[in-house]
Amino acid sequence: MQKDSISFKIPAIRLFQRETEGKAIYVGVIKASDLSSHPQERFRIAYFDRENKNAGYQRRLQDNKVEKLKEFILKETKTPLFPTAILVNSREMLDFKEISKGVGTLHVNEPLFVIDGQHRVTAWRAIVDETDLADKWKDYEFPIVLMSGFKILEEMEQFYVINSRQTKIKTDLVHSLLLEFEKKDETRNLVKEKDKWIPRAVVITENLNKSGAWKDRIGYDSDSDLMRKTRVIQATSVVGALKHLFVGNKKLFDIENPKIDEWIKFLNDYWEIIADIYPNAVNNANDYSLMKTVGINVMHILLADKSYDLGLGIEQKEELLKKMRETLVRAAISDIPEDFWRSDVSKQTRERGRYAGAFSSSAGHKRLATAIFINRFD
């Protein structure tokens, strides 16, 4: 490898932490075009090899992640920002020419091993390599943190700390962010087509929590410890159960023609019917599974199935709600009485599997909804 072929200079600032002699850390700025020029020599990725465990530590590149980044840059927003730094290491010391008080020019003439940011590097490299896109994006700048003189074991340490100590965003926060993105023209494209139902479901969930059978029953990660004790189900579970009404060929709600207030009123009326048929299971919700994940999924699957079978939509809500009441009353006086929803059941009942908790999987939700629908518990 000719070092001249990979050599480039960047403005940089030296940081002083607890690095030992012969090592240094710099923060600099790099352009997208620098990622494309001599990419295999300049920026290397040390992949983990089971046969040679000292060779590397990186996970294999995931093409779908690269494509998602490219889509974000090129389609989802007009002003893509990447303020977080790419982290790399040169296993040999780099030459730094100080101009004033830690500020200077860093001469990079050694391979840089990517510790964090391999998908960003690959995505930007692919964009700049496309002739039609190069002129527009070649001068895009990134912050980059360069470790100088650190060995592979220290790279592994940084890789481990970065990837094992991060806290994932809570699902209900993700849902709330999607709702905010949906409200504004400049961020609306961030909400994927398959996720368009989520902002609507978030609004419905928030409103269900304000009145009717669900009032103050729905919990959020931001709730205090004291408040959580009074909640029955998490908002993420309610949003997830609403998906049955938005997605698939049996969907009841049309996201292209949103009628949020009407949907909220309809669902409150539906759950008031359920509360009328199973009063103890609603009033003492913590002792039953009706208003927990099993129950809300079953009731929403049942609603979607019945609506589809009858050919009744929100426009015929009075007739649809009447049919739902009839279906649930039949179930309550036959195979699905109120005690079926109890959380604490006898050993005998548990062994027979004749209680709602035995249907806690997605497949179980569908089976139980079908049993209520056809009024037969096999």
Distances in Å between the Cα of 123 and the Cα atoms of 59, 71, 263 are 16, 10, 41
Burial letters 39-60, b for 16+ CB under 10 A, else e = beebbbbbeeeeeeeeebbbee
- Span 302-357, pLDDT tens digits: 999 999 999 999 999 999 999 999 999 999 999 899 999 999 988 888 888 889 99
Please report which helix (H) or strand (E) contains residue 269, including its range.
Answer: helix 260-277
Comparing CA positions, the residue from 277, 377, 369 lying closest to residue 325 is 277
- Report yes or no: 320 and 307 within 8 Å, Cβ to Cβ: yes
C-alpha–C-alpha distance, residues 233 and 375, integer Å: 27
Strand, coil or helix: what is 89? Answer: strand
Centroid of chain to Cα 132: 32
Pairing of β 112-116 and β 86-90:
antiparallel
- CB count, 10 Å around CB of 181? 18
What pLDDT does residue 324 have? 97
Position 4 confidence tier, pLDDT thresholds 50, 70, 90: low
What pLDDT does residue 143 have? 95
The share of the chain scoring above pLDDT 70, in percent, equals 96
Position 257 confidence tier, pLDDT thresholds 50, 70, 90: confident
Question: Which residues partner with 234 through β-bridges?
Answer: 219
- Span 237-248, pLDDT tens digits: 999 999 999 999
Please report which helix (H) or strand (E) contains residue 103, including its range.
Answer: strand 103-108
pTM of the model: 0.73
- Span 136-173, pLDDT tens digits: 999 999 999 999 999 988 998 898 888 877 777 778 88
What pLDDT does residue 164 have? 78
Domain ranges of the chain: 3-164, 171-374
